[in-house]
């Protein structure tokens, strides 16, 4: 599968060992306040820019290796399935950003340090689906009943540089690799911006371990 943004449609292009090229995707901070252009921007991927979230060319001098290793295939081939009462939870660990919305939001279902770590009978279908919808990376999805296609919202495109964390993208924004191959189009994805992910270009939660600091915001709104 090839492509990314088509015509004037929003899209994100991963450049080789360089920044993300953002086309037609609105930007907002974590309070929801818009900033920057909605036409075209280059956002830092190496973690070293002095003008975060924008690229300032630091990737050319800090030895950044942006080699992409993420799977381009469909999530259904990677996910684990947990069937509960009136709801099925799907879990794709490969793209988890470790935001903790699940373990903090519903610890009766998502249990740290226990295997299996998901108890689909630990809460009602309504409670489970509500927490799953908060997952910023799209690692968690759900379907009503037993099995079936996962349900995803239909949000407008938006990209948010999360505090000291990844870029949270919503709205089924197409993401394509540096060679032009498209990743599966998902409602939610999180893109690495610390430069250290083990699943580039997607976040693997590595920012927690390298103590990534994004600063207080962009020096200038490009």
- What CATH number is attached to the domain comprising 91? 3.30.70.20
pLDDT given for residue 124 in this prediction: 97
- How far apart CA 123 and CA 48 sit, in angstroms, is 42
Q: Please, are residues 19 and 44 in contact by the beta-carbon 8 Å criterion?
A: yes
3-state secondary structure of 172: coil
Helix count and strand count (H, E) for the chain: 3, 12
Sheet with strand 140-144: strands edge to edge: 80-83, 87-91, 140-144
Output the six-digit token pair for 150. Answer: 């996962």
3-state secondary structure of 29: coil
pLDDT digit string (tens) for 193-204? 999 999 999 999
Residue 112 lies in a domain: yes
Residue 40 lies in a domain: no
Residue 86 sits in which domain range?
75-144
Residue 18 lies in a domain: no
Residues with Cβ within 8 Å of residue 106, at least 6 apart in sequence = 122, 123, 127, 128, 131
Cβ-count burial of 31 within 10 angstroms (0-12 exposed, 13-18 middle, 19+ buried)? exposed
The whole-number average pLDDT for the span 95-112 is 96
Q: Which one, of 186, 160, 163, lies nearest residue 175 by Cα? A: 186
Q: Please, are residues 62 and 52 in contact by the beta-carbon 8 Å criterion?
A: no
39 C-beta neighbours (distance < 10 Å), count: 10
Output the six-digit token pair for 185. Answer: 């189009």
The whole-number average pLDDT for the span 80-86 is 96
3-state secondary structure of 143: strand
Per-residue pLDDT for 1 more than 70?
no
Residue 200 lies in a domain: no
Residue 101 lies in a domain: yes
Residue 92 lies in a domain: yes
pLDDT given for residue 153 in this prediction: 81
- How far apart CA 22 and CA 42 sit, in angstroms, is 6
pLDDT digit string (tens) for 166-213? 999 999 999 999 999 999 999 999 999 999 999 999 999 999 999 999
pLDDT digit string (tens) for 123-140? 999 999 999 999 999 999
Residue 111 lies in a domain: yes
Q: How confident is the model at residue 152 (pLDDT cuts 50, 70, 90)?
A: confident
Per the structure, the count of domains in the chain is: 1
Output the six-digit token pair for 105. Answer: 């939001």
Per-residue pLDDT for 5 more than 50?
no
Kind of pairing between the strands at 167-170 and 175-176 = unpaired
Q: Is the bond leading into 167 cis (omega within 30 degrees of zero)?
A: no
* Cα Rg of the chain (Å, integer): 17
- How far apart CA 13 and CA 60 sit, in angstroms, is 18
* pTM (predicted TM-score): 0.91
Residue 86 lies in a domain: yes
């Amino acid at each position: 599968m090839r492509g990314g943004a088509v015509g004037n449609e929003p899209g994100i292009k991963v450049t080789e060992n360089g920044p993300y090229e953002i086309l037609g995707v609105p930007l907002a901070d974590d309070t929801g306040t818009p900033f920057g252009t909605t036409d075209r921007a280059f956002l830092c991927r190496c973690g070293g820019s002095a003008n975060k979230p924008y690229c300032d060319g630091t990737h050319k001098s800090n030895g950044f290796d942006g080699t992409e290793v993420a799977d381009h295939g469909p999530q259904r081939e990677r996910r684990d399935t947990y069937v509960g009462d009136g709801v099925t939870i799907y879990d794709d660990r490969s793209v988890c950003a470790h935001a903790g919305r699940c373990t903090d939001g519903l610890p009766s279902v998502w249990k740290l340090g226990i295997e299996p770590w998901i108890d689909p009978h630990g809460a009602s279908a309504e409670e489970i689906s509500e927490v799953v919808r908060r997952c910023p990376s799209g690692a968690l999805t759900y379907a009503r009943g037993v099995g079936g296609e996962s349900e995803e919202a239909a949000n407008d495109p938006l990209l948010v540089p999360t505090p000291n964390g990844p870029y949270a993208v919503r709205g089924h924004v197409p993401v394509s690799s540096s060679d032009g191959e498209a990743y599966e189009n998902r409602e939610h994805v999180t893109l690495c911006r610390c430069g250290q992910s083990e699943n580039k270009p997607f976040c693997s939660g590595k920012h927690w371990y390298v103590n990534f600091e994004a600063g207080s915001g962009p020096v200038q709104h490009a």
